Amino acid sequence: MSSVRTTVLATIRRYGMISPRDAVLAAVSGGPDSVCMLHVLADLREELEFELKVAHLEHGFRGEESRADAAFVRDLAERLAIPFFCDEVSVPRFLLAQPMSAQDAARMLRYQFLVKVSKLEFCQRIATGHNADDQAETVLMRLLRGAGPDGLAGIPPKREGTIIRPLLAVWRSDVMAYLEERGLPWRTDATNLDSKYLRNEIRNEVMPLLERHNPNLRRALANVGTAMTDIAAHLGRLTDEALPRIVKRASLGQFVLDSTALGHYDEALRRCVFRRLFEALRPDLGPLPFRHVEGVLSMAREGRAGASVELPGGVTARLEHGALVIACGRQEAEFGERALCVPGSTAPEGSDLVIEASLVPREQLSDAVRSADESEAFFDWDALRPPLVLRPRREGDRFRPFGLEGTKTVKELLIDEKVAFSFRPLVPILCDADGILWVVGLRRADRAPVTDRTGTVLALKARRQEATPGTREGSPH
């Protein structure tokens, strides 16, 4: 049994990468790493009882050479009797409309393709050919960029429960030896030699220079990645436990944090919280850079109301009324008036809320009405005066909140609920011909209550379109 096969099998078992009867989609570019991975997985599929499929994306970078890569992978899959799936995109054309690096664009489109194929083919896992050298290079690259624990964890063995890296403990030299011993051909991508890309510069120039001083540098960096993976996972679990205590409200593209609760945790965990919330607001961006994390941390430490910090992607962190608000600044514009669809879903333009409306018999909702939270509202349908519209707040808006004596301005409610100043224009207000019915997500008016005489109930549910801070398995790569 080869050392590569033994190492891959141990990695798969250590991280629970593949279960019996899984279907695994192998991402194969035709390069040495992915070719090695495919052959090893093909050798292991009977022992581990899984099904294997191959996917290849032609990126449109290198003309005939790129198309020859696709033909090579197709022939390889046919020789191994493995189903093959291929598609073609033009990354250069994509970059005309999307301002991002060519490598980032290629990676994004590649993963979109792999996820699409995996869903169509009912594959539980997507295997990529990242190896131990890739891990060392990633750790060094992120160290140069000032990454935190998540970044220094490098490439996770598993990501999102779907992406697996069976070769992650195998060195590139062992990959090459495996292929040469068996006389297995592979394709060479000339762009991997171009040092205008940071990763290639690190691989081709920086790493060899540093290895003159420390011949074991790659192993040391890979060990850092492994150690930081465990540390990042532990901090992630602590963050999962802390978030419900710290986040007072998650709505309208913002997270409102309890400053007092936040102060009960040490700075290491606060950093994790800030990174997690930023990732939830802008999942399309990478981890929040260290200097930005420190800026939010310093602001929270000083506790000066009104202070704010601008973060990447239009996100702002601001101290207001004893709370720390982290929100997408892109939502400062006011949305327009829109009729409420009954029944149906209505999304006010510019707001991150969707309001779902349904008409149901009262007897079907008695328990739901009693247990309603701030995201729900129920009204006696026959007591309302259409049309029902969603609109932004107007100067002087006043209503009688349900369960309270007297009236209150909407402005006073927003202040009491600690809604960030820049987000107050984004809070939808539901009205009928007689006035305010519901300050959506905050408080309903005392009008048209559901009683024993109610026949039909208008049931409303507000939900956010934005991502929420969930659990994490590792840094994306």
Same domain flag for 303 and 353 = no
pLDDT at 448: 92
Q: Is-contact 17 158, C-beta < 8 A?
A: yes
| DSSP three-state, residue 110 | helix
Task: In whole angstroms, give the CA distance from residue 382 to residue 118.
Answer: 49
Bridge pairing between strands 308-311 and 344-346: unpaired
DSSP output for 283-315:
TTS-SPPHHHHHHHHHHHHHT-TT-EEEEGGGE
d(Cα 67, Cα 106) in Å, to the nearest integer? Answer: 16
Q: Is residue 286 part of a domain?
A: yes
pLDDT score recorded for residue 94 = 78
Query: What is the distance between the alpha carbons of residues 232 and 178, in angstroms, rounded to a whole number?
Result: 33
Tell whether 259 and 352 lie within a shared domain.
no
Q: What is the domain count for the chain? A: 3
Is residue 116 assigned to a domain? yes
Q: Where are the alpha helices (DSSP H) in 127-201?
A: 132-144, 149-152, 172-182, 198-201
pLDDT above 90 covers a percentage of the chain that reads: 46
102-129 residue pLDDT tens: 777 888 889 999 999 999 999 999 999 9
| Residue 297 in domain | yes
73 and 211 fall within a common domain: yes
Boundary residue ending a domain (331, 350, 384) = 331
pLDDT digits (tens, 9 = 90+) for 244-264: 999 887 765 778 898 889 989
One-letter amino acid for residue 410 of the chain: V
Give the CA distances from residue 453 to residues 236, 408, 456, in Å, rounded to whole numbers and listed in that order.
51, 28, 10
Task: Please count the CA atoms within 13 angstroms of the CA of 62 that sit on its side-chain side.
Answer: 15
Least confident of 225-239, 316-330, 403-417: 316-330
Q: Please determine, for residue 73, whether its predicted confidence score (pLDDT) is greater than 80.
A: yes
Task: State the residue range of the domain holding 344.
Answer: 338-463
Q: pLDDT (tens digit, 9 = 90+) per residue, 454-471?
A: 999 999 988 866 444 555
Task: Based on the fold, state whether residues 210 and 77 are members of the same structural domain.
Answer: yes
Lowest pLDDT segment from 400-414, 438-452, 454-468: 454-468
Say yes or no: 434 and 290 in one domain.
no
272 in helix, strand or coil? helix
Say if residue 256 is in the same domain as residue 203.
no
The answer, yes or no, to whether residue 8 has pLDDT greater than 90, is yes
pLDDT digits (tens, 9 = 90+) for 122-162: 999 999 999 999 999 999 988 887 777 777 888 889 887 79
Residue 451, in any domain of the structure: yes
Instruction: Identify the pLDDT of residue 387.
Output: 92
- Kindly state whether residue 217 falls inside one of the protein's structural domains: yes
CATH number at residue 256: 3.30.465.60
Domain-ending residue, one of 228, 260, 288: 228
Q: Which two tokens stand for residue 51?
A: 């099904």
Residue 245 lies in a domain: no
Res 66 pLDDT > 90 = no
Q: Are residues 95 and 153 in the same domain?
A: yes
Query: Does residue 400 sit in the same domain as residue 423?
Result: yes
3-state secondary structure (DSSP) of residue 115 = helix
pLDDT digits (tens, 9 = 90+) for 351-380: 667 899 999 998 877 665 555 567 889 999
Q: Which of 299, 331, 363 is the last residue of a domain?
A: 331
Using CB atoms within 10 Å of the CB of residue 115, give its burial: 0 to 12 exposed, 13 to 18 middle, 19+ buried. middle
Same structural domain, 454 and 400: yes
Q: What is the CATH number of the domain that holds 94?
A: 3.40.50.620
Rounded Cα–Cα distance for residues 423 and 120 (Å)? 40
In a domain, 235, yes or no: no
Are 28 and 77 in a shared domain?
yes
| Pair (306, 347) in one structural domain | no
Same-domain status, 151 and 270: no
* Mean confidence (pLDDT) of the chain: 86
Q: Angle at Cα 272 formed by Cα 266 and Cα 277, nearest 5°? A: 125
